[in-house]
Amino acid sequence: MSSDCKSFRSALEAELLGRPSQEKLAWLSWHAHLLACGSCRELLAREEALEALLASLPEPKLPAALTRRVLLRLREDRAVEVRLDSLLDLGLSGATEPPRGLAAEILARLAPEREAEAARSLDALLDRARDVAVPSGLAARVLAGVAAERVRAARTVRRTWIYAAAAGLLVLLLGRFVWVWNHTARPSETEFVAQDEAAPDPQMLAALDVLEQWDLLMQDDVDVLLSTLGPADVALLDYR
Amino acid sequence: MMPIRTILVLVLAAAGWLGQDTPKPASATSPTLESARKRWERFSPEEKARARTRYERFLAMTEEEREQLVESARQLHERSERVQKELGQTDGERLATMEPAKRRELVHEIVAEESRAVGARIRGQFPESWLARLENATQEERARAFLEFRVHQRDRVARYAIGELGRHLALPAEEIRRLQELPGNERCDAVLDLRKRLSAQEVDESGLPPGLTREQWDAWLALPPEQFFDTFQRYRESRIFAQGKREAVRALFEAARPHPERVLALADLPADERRAKLTAERRERCVHALRDGNLLAAEEIEALTRSSDAEFFLAVRRVLRSAGSPKR
């Protein structure tokens, strides 16, 4: 995994902490790293799909009778406490004075046990509540429902990329045009005037020496022509 | 993902295209052609019209004729460059203040004079039959005949020259044969190379040529064979008449050679007037040299002073040629 992958995945992880949202993940899909990394694109797509699925699930709700049953049990426990206090008051009244706070002490000692019992009862209740009945085929229906939305979102992202790339290309072409315009030698105004004459043929330019020396080369006196013998030809004259 | 890939490819292609070099103008590909184009742009409208007319005639020639004219013009152009360089060293300030057209005209005159003088010397060594053929040909045919002469020399004379030079240099027979079988241009290069080696051998055996220092000679030896031959040839020509008993001939040689400094001195005159004055000066110098050196009888000199310029300078050349030129 490259450092770019690690960087991208750290950013993704940061977005997934807490309560991730589809908007945040959509923003991540602009990450430049995705242009070059297929596996990170797939990872983001999977996370987006999972987030879409989770967002589509209903909020879990406790059964309506649960509150009533819990309150009833608590009320029963409260009734036990009240009855014990009454019993202590009745049985010991007038004979020996019970120590003050006895009831509270007993109750305090009973409290952990009662709390444990209450917790067990609550757990049992919550265990029952967790068993939320999920209708069969819900997942398929949810996925089918979000599929169109996902395709639309993907198309939007793709279209945005195409527009961005087209704009980039346009800028490049414009830059190229400006650059070429600035670096290409263009004839000046005087050259435009000069071009009214026929431009010289390159082959004629190649023969310009001949045209300039024409009157010397073509005169009746052959001495000038003889003078154009090269050193090697002159050297050979000694051996005739 | 496909569109992204496609866009990536497009972006990369555009970036690559953006990074390409700007296409250079065709003229920039050939410095020679570019230099010719600049020269062309300096032409006046009349000069351009004249050049176009000449080009029509040039195109009507055969390939051989055109080939020889291009080669001859190249030699003249090199001579012109050298003349301008030499004038720049001696009269650079005066040249710099001249109008470009005027400067071109004067350089052209000097090159023409020098070319006639060089040609006259070569004429003395040129085979009579070939010379007659050249003089009887039309202007166009002359170029073709001249090319044929050069090819003939390279094919046949060069082999003989290599044999002679190889013998003087005591080269093995196989090496001589190998050099003789080289292609035409390479065979000529071999002749110049052997000439240079022979000159070096002669100096080693007999000492430095008169008037040369060891440093000068070493500098000459460092030149390529073609330049060495050219330089040494000019030295030889300047020394031909340097011996005591031929002092008179040397003076005539000096009198007859072109004097570029006089062309510059008369630069303000119209071209025709300047040429006439230069020719008159040259004739006068030659007459003095002929008289002072007793190179011709007085009545012959008197008759010459009444002859045309062509006849006069032909006689001067004959006197110079009769003094002989050293053969190697």
* Structure confidence by residue, pLDDT tens digits, B7-22: 555 555 555 555 444 4
pLDDT for B27 equals 42
Tokens of A203: 């082959």
Min CA distance, A184 vs chain B (Å)? 8
% of chain A at pLDDT higher than 90: 2
Q: Choose, out of B22, B50, B153, the residue to mutate when testing the contact with A (most A CBs < 10 Å).
A: B153
Contact B111, A194 (CB under 8 A): no
Q: Among residues 71-130 of chain B, which lie with CB inside 8 Å of chain A? A: 71-77, 79, 108, 111-112, 114-120, 122-123, 125-127
Return the pLDDT at B56.
Answer: 92
Q: What is the pLDDT of residue A185?
A: 52
Percentages helix, strand, coil for chain B (3-state, rounded to 5) are 80, 0, 20
- At residue A90, the pLDDT reads 57
What pLDDT is stored for residue B162 in this prediction? 94
Measuring CA to CA, how many Å separate A176 from each of A96, B22, B142? Answer: 110, 10, 56
Q: What is the pLDDT of residue B170?
A: 94
**pLDDT for A12-34, tens place per residue?**
888 887 777 777 777 788 888 88
How many interface pairs between A and B have CB atoms less than 8 angstroms apart?
198
In DSSP notation, B109-156 reads: HHHHHHHHHHHHHHHHHS-HHHHHHHHHS-HHHHHHHHHHHHHHIIII
Say yes or no: A112 contacts chain B, CB-CB below 8 A: no
Burial A129-155 (b: 16+ CB within 10 A, else e): eeeeeeeeeeeeebeeebeeeeeebee
Q: Does B289 touch chain A (CB under 8 A)?
A: no
Report the distance separating Cα A15 and Cα A13, nearest Å.
5
Question: For residue A67, is pLDDT > 80?
Answer: no
Q: Which residue of A has its CA nearest to B15?
A: A172
At residue B259, the pLDDT reads: 86
Give mean pLDDT in consecutive 10-residue pieces for chain B, a chain of 328 residues. Answer: 55 52 45 82 87 91 90 90 84 79 86 87 87 89 91 87 93 94 89 93 88 90 90 75 66 86 87 90 92 88 90 84 52
What is residue B177's three-state secondary structure? helix
Least confident among A43-47, A118-122, B162-166, B263-267: A118-122
Residue type, B82: R
Q: How far apart are CA A10 and CA A20, in angstroms?
A: 14
Mutate which: B4, B38, B79, B149, vs A, most A CBs within 10 A: B4
Concatenating the DSSP letter of every residue in A12-77 gives HHHHHSSS--HHHHHHHTT-GGGGT-HHHHHHHHHHHHHHHHHHHSPPP---HHHHHHHHHHHHHH
User: Which of A104-113, A134-143, B196-205 has the lowest average pLDDT?
Assistant: A134-143
- From the number of C-beta atoms within 10 Å of its C-beta (0-12, 13-18, 19+), residue B120 rates as buried
> Looking at residue B100, what is its pLDDT?
79
**Interhelix angle for B247-256 vs B271-292, to 10°?**
170
Chain B residues whose CB is inside 8 A of the A231 CB are 192, 226-227, 229-230, 233
pTM here is 0.53
Mean pLDDT of the region A177-203: 62
Please compute the mean of the pLDDT values over residues A139-156 and round it to a whole number.
Answer: 77
The answer to whether ipTM exceeds 0.90 is no
